[in-house]
Amino acid sequence: MNKAVEDKIKELKSYLSKIEYLGSALAVFSWDDMVNAPKKAVEYRSRVTAYLAGELYKLKTSDEVKKFIDFFDGVKDELDEVITAALDNLKREYYQTKKIPDDEYKEYTKECSVSLAAWEEAKNKSDFNIFKPHLKKIVDFNKRFVEYWGYEGNKYNALLDNYEPGITTEKVDKLFVEMKDGIMDVLNKIKKSGYTPRIDFFTKRFTKEEQEKFSKIVLKKMEYDYEKAGRIDEYMHPFTTNFGNKDVRITTFYDENDFRSALFSCIHEGGHAIYEQDIPDDLQGTLLNCGVSMGIHESQSRFYENIIGRSKPFWKYFYPEATKMFKQFEGVSFEEFYNGINYVEPSLIRTEADELTYGLHIIIRYEIEKMLINDEITVDELPKVWNKKYKEYLGVEPSNDAEGVLQDMHWADGSFGYFPSYALGNLYGAQFLNKMKKDMPNVDKDIESGDLSSIHNWLKDNIHKYGAVYKPSELIKKVTGEELTSKYFIEYIDKKFGKIYYK
Amino acid sequence: MNKAVEDKIKELKSYLSKIEYLGSALAVFSWDDMVNAPKKAVEYRSRVTAYLAGELYKLKTSDEVKKFIDFFDGVKDELDEVITAALDNLKREYYQTKKIPDDEYKEYTKECSVSLAAWEEAKNKSDFNIFKPHLKKIVDFNKRFVEYWGYEGNKYNALLDNYEPGITTEKVDKLFVEMKDGIMDVLNKIKKSGYTPRIDFFTKRFTKEEQEKFSKIVLKKMEYDYEKAGRIDEYMHPFTTNFGNKDVRITTFYDENDFRSALFSCIHEGGHAIYEQDIPDDLQGTLLNCGVSMGIHESQSRFYENIIGRSKPFWKYFYPEATKMFKQFEGVSFEEFYNGINYVEPSLIRTEADELTYGLHIIIRYEIEKMLINDEITVDELPKVWNKKYKEYLGVEPSNDAEGVLQDMHWADGSFGYFPSYALGNLYGAQFLNKMKKDMPNVDKDIESGDLSSIHNWLKDNIHKYGAVYKPSELIKKVTGEELTSKYFIEYIDKKFGKIYYK
C-alpha cells in the first residue's frame, strides 16, 4: 500500500472516530433520557437530542465524506476487506441521505415526533382515528423516499435494505411463507394434542430482588460482563444500548407477579449485549464496530432467549438453582417446569408472544407494510386488515385498536422495513444452531453442566468478531455454508414442540 | 430596536443555544462517567469527552462568535441589559481563549490529564515527589497564561478573574486578612472556654436507607425539586450538575457511621441545585442561564449548609423529626444535639473542616497560589510552606503529604484561582443573611416552623432569578447596597459560636 493511501486511511479512521464519539454521546444521552431523566426536562432534552442528531447527520453527509469516497474509489485495489466494507457502508449511508432533499427530511423527522405523540394518545384512548392522519403522512413520506432511493423489483426492497442490507422482498416472501406454514402446522398439532402445560407456578409473587439475583446468575453464566463493562438498569421497555464495546448496558422490567418476564428479557438483552462486547477493538474508527444488522442482532438475542434459554439442557442446570432459590416452585417437577417455560398460546400482543407464534405476529406486519408501500391497501383499511390476519393466522381477534393495530410504535416513528428483522433473527438463529451442533456435537452436555462458554466462544469466533464487516447474506454463508433458509427453523420447532406436545 | 438588530439577536440566541445543548450533552456524559460508567470504559470515554470538549471549544471560539461580537459592538446602545451581559461574557471568554496559542492549550489539557493521574498516584503513595514535576509544568503553563491574558496589579488577578470576575487580589487580600483574624479570634476564645460539645451520638450506625429518607425530608422542605426536575444519586465526592434548569442533579455519599456526612452534603448540594432550578427560562440562549460565579454559587450552598442547616431555628424544627426517626439520639437533649452539630476542631482535611475553621484552609491555599504565581516560592518548597501555615493558622501539622499538600485535586487539573471562591462564598452568604434579616425580621420563626419557603423566595428574588446577568460585584451591591465585606461574616461567627462556647 502506498504512503498516500495509508495516510488517507488514518485520516478516514480519525474522521469516522468522530462519528463514533458523537454517536456514543447521543446514545448516553438517550439512555439517560429513558432511565434517569426527570419529567420536567422532557422538552429541553428533546431539543438537545435534535441538536446532537443534526450534528451527527452533518458529519455523515459532509463534503469531507464525499472526498473520502472519491479518493478511495480511485485506489480500490489497494484496500483491505475491512476498509472496503467501511467505505461501502459509508457510501451507502451518504447517498441514501443525500438523495432525500434536506427540507423534506427535516419535515419528516418533525412529523415523526408529532406522530409518535399522536400514536401514544391513540393507544391510550384505543382510537386509531387519532393516529390515522399522522400515519398517512408517514407512509407517504416513506413512499416518496422509496422513489428517491430507487429500487429493483418490489418497492419494499428499498426499505428492507435499511435494516437488512442485501436481502430482498422476493427472498423474504419465500422464507416467510415457509415459516408461516411451518409455524401453523406445529400450532395445529399442538392444538390437536390437547395437552396444556401448567404455568400457574410462574405467576406467584417473586420479589424484584429475588428476580434480579437470579437474572444476574444467568447473565454471569452467559458471560455478559455487566460488572466492569456494562450495567443492568430498570426501564419499562427492556433494551440494550452501548457506547463502544466496553460499556454495553441492558435494561429490564421486573413484574413481581411473573417469574418469566424479567428473566427472559434479561437473557434476550444479554444476547444483544454479548454481541457488542465481543466486537474487537481494532474495528474502532470504521463504523463497523457494531452488530451488522437488526436481523443478525435479533438472531443473537433470540438464540440466547429461546434456543438456549428455553431449552432442556439449560434448565437441567438452572432448574435446581431456581428451585433452591424460589420456594414458589416447591412441588413442581422438572418436566412441568420445562414444559411450562414452553407454553404455547396464540395471543394478541407481539411482545408477549411465545417462541412459536412470535413469527406470525411479524409476518402479519411484514405483509401489511408491503401492501401499504405498494398501494395495495390504504391506511384507512389498516385495522380491518390487521384484525382479519390475526383471526386467520393466530385464531384470535383484537377487541380494540390498542391491542390490535396500535400496539407497536414502529410505524409511528417511521421504521418501515424494521419488523422483518425479528423473524429473520429466528431463521438465522436456527441455522446457526444447526452449524454449531455440527461443530460441537457435545454442546448440550456443556449447557447441562452450566458451562455456556463454548456457545459464547462459537458465536464470538463465527459472528461477533466480524462486527459489521460482512453483510448479513455474506455472513450466513460464511458461517453455515448456505444462504439463509427456513428449513432449520421449521425442523427446530417441530422437533422441540413435538417432544413437548405431540410426539 | 431596528429589525436588523432584532434578527441578529435571534441568530445569536440560536447560536448560543447550540453551545448550551452541547454543554448539556457533555455534562450528562460526565455525570454518567462518575455515577454509572463501568470501569473498562474509562479509556474510550475519555476520548469521547475530549472530542465533545473540543467541539464545545470550537463553538465558543469560532469566527461566527467574532462576527457577532463585531456586529453588536457597533450597536451597543440598542441592546438591553441581558444581551449586553451575554455579549460581555461571550467576548471575555472568546478573547481569553484566543490569547493562548492553540497548540499550547492542547498541550496544557493533555498535561492536565497526565498530571491528574500522577496526583492520584502521589496521593495514594503519599509522595509529593511523584506529583512535583507535573505540578511544576502546570504552574509554568498558568504563569504563561497570565502573561498572555495580561493583568493589572497582581499577576494573580488574571487567574482570579476566571472564577470570580471583577474581584481583585488586592480586595481579596484585605477580606481574607480580616477573615483570618476573625476566625482565629473566635477559635482562641473557643479554646479558652474549655467547652467541648458531645458528638459521640453522631457516629453510631445509621443505615443508608434511614439517612436517605431523612435527607429527602430536608431537601423537600428546602424546595429542591428532585422528583420532577432532578435526582439524587450516590458518588464518592458529592457534586451538583445540571442540564438546563429542569434537570438539576445532586450526588451524595452515605457514611453509615456518621449521621452528619450525607445530610450536610445533601443540604450543601441542595443549595447549589435550587439556584440552578430557579434560573428563569427566558435566559436560555444567552449562556447566562446559570449561577454567576463559583463564589456566588458557594454562597448559596453554604448558606443552606451552614447558616440555615447548622442554625438553632432549623434544628428546632428538625431535631424532633430526627429523634423521632433515629433511636440513636435517645437521651440526647436539644442543646447537646445543636452544639454537637457546631462542634469546632481545627483539622488537617479541608473537606472535613467545620464551619468556623473551613475558611483558614482556603486562605492557606490562596496565599500559596499567589506566592507560586508571583515566583515568591517554588513548587519544591510547597510541602514545607503548607505544613508551616497549617501549624500557624490551625495549630495542626500533617504527618504526611497525603493529608497535607496532596489532599486536593484542584492544582493537579490546573484550577488556579478557584480556591478563594469557597471562602468568598462564606462572606457573600453572611452579607446576604444580614440583608435577609432586615427584609424579613421574622424569618427565624418561619424556619422554626419548618417553613423554608420564605428563605427560598428571598434568594430566588434577589439572586437566583438573575442567573449570570450581573457580575458578582454588581450583584452583591444590588442586593445588599454594599460592596463585599468581611464584617457580617465576622459578626456572624462571633455571635453564633460565642453563644455556644463562650458567651
Domain boundaries, given as residue ranges, for chain B: 3-152, 200-223+254-344+429-485
Local structure of A248: helix, strand or coil: strand
Contact A288, A469 (CB under 8 A): yes
pLDDT at B102: 87
pLDDT at B113: 87
Instruction: Look at residue A408 and tell me whether its pLDDT is greater than 80.
Output: yes
At A113, the pLDDT band (50, 70, 90 cuts) reads confident
- What is the percent of chain B with per-residue pLDDT over 70, rounded to a whole number? 100
DSSP state of A480: H
Active site residue A269: yes
A28 touches chain B (CB under 8 A): yes
A44 touches chain B (CB under 8 A): yes
Nearest CA in chain B to A233: B36
Closest CA to B12 of B280, B284, B245: B284
Closest CA to B401 of B123, B61, B146, B141: B123
- What is the percent of chain A with per-residue pLDDT over 90, rounded to a whole number? 96
Best residue in B13, B26, B36 for a mutation probing chain A (most A CBs within 10 Å): B36
Provide the residue type at B131 as one letter.
F
Asked if A28's CB is within 8 angstroms of B243's CB, the reply is no
Q: Which of A22, A38, A243 sits opposite B228 (nearest CB)?
A: A38
pLDDT at A102: 87
Q: Which residues pair with A234 in a beta bridge?
A: A252
Handedness of CA A318, A319, A322, A324 (dihedral sign): negative
Asked if B40's CB is within 8 angstroms of A247's CB, the reply is yes
Residues B340-363, mean pLDDT to the nearest whole number: 97
Residues A435-461, mean pLDDT to the nearest whole number: 98
H/E element, A376: none
- Convert the pLDDT of each residue in A303-347 to its tens digit: 999 999 999 999 999 999 999 999 999 999 999 999 999 999 999
B36 touches chain A (CB under 8 A): yes
Asked if B25's CB is within 8 angstroms of A29's CB, the reply is yes
Cβ-proximal residues to B297 (8 Å cutoff; 6+ apart), any chain: B272, B275, B291, B421, B425
Residues B443-461, mean pLDDT to the nearest whole number: 98
Whole-number average pLDDT of chain A: 97
Instruction: Look at residue B1 and tell me whether its pLDDT is greater than 90.
Output: no
At A110, the pLDDT band (50, 70, 90 cuts) reads confident
**Residues of chain B found within 8 Å of residue A37, distances taken between Cβ atoms:** 247
Cβ-proximal residues to A137 (8 Å cutoff; 6+ apart), any chain: A111, A115
**Residues of chain B found within 8 Å of residue A25, distances taken between Cβ atoms:** 25-26, 29, 48, 51-52
Residue found by looking up cell 463497523 in the block: A288
**Residues of chain B found within 8 Å of residue A47, distances taken between Cβ atoms:** 17, 21
Residues B371-392, mean pLDDT to the nearest whole number: 98
B21 touches chain A (CB under 8 A): yes
B23 touches chain A (CB under 8 A): no
A334 touches chain B (CB under 8 A): no
**Residues of chain A found within 8 Å of residue B43, distances taken between Cβ atoms:** 246
Asked if B244's CB is within 8 angstroms of A38's CB, the reply is no
Residues of B with catalytic function: 269
Instruction: Look at residue A140 and tell me whether its pLDDT is greater than 90.
Output: yes
- What is the percent of chain B with per-residue pLDDT over 90, rounded to a whole number? 96
Contact B436, B300 (CB under 8 A): no
Contact A468, A85 (CB under 8 A): yes
At B110, the pLDDT band (50, 70, 90 cuts) reads confident
At B397, the pLDDT band (50, 70, 90 cuts) reads very high
B151 touches chain A (CB under 8 A): no
- Convert the pLDDT of each residue in B115-164 to its tens digit: 999 999 999 999 999 999 999 999 999 999 999 999 999 999 999 999 99
Chain A nearest CA to B32, separation (Å): 8
Residues A53-59, mean pLDDT to the nearest whole number: 94
At B414, the pLDDT band (50, 70, 90 cuts) reads very high
A3 touches chain B (CB under 8 A): no
Counting one residue from chain A and one from chain B, the pairs whose CB atoms sit within 8 A come to 104
- Convert the pLDDT of each residue in A214-247 to its tens digit: 999 999 999 999 999 999 999 999 999 999 999 9
Instruction: Look at residue A278 and tell me whether its pLDDT is greater than 80.
Output: yes
Asked if B38's CB is within 8 angstroms of A227's CB, the reply is yes
B45 touches chain A (CB under 8 A): yes
Instruction: Look at residue A74 and tell me whether its pLDDT is greater than 90.
Output: yes
DSSP H stretches of helix in A150-234: 157-163, 169-193, 208-221
Q: Which of A40, A226, A243 sits opposite B246 (nearest CB)?
A: A40
Residues A418-442, mean pLDDT to the nearest whole number: 98
Nearest CA in chain A to B23: A48
Residues B275-280, mean pLDDT to the nearest whole number: 98
What are the cell numbers at A419?
419488523
- Separation of alpha carbons B465 and B185, rounded Å: 37
Chain B nearest CA to A277, separation (Å): 11
B51 touches chain A (CB under 8 A): yes
Nearest CA in chain A to B15: A51
- Separation of alpha carbons A337 and A308, rounded Å: 15
Chain A nearest CA to B246, separation (Å): 5
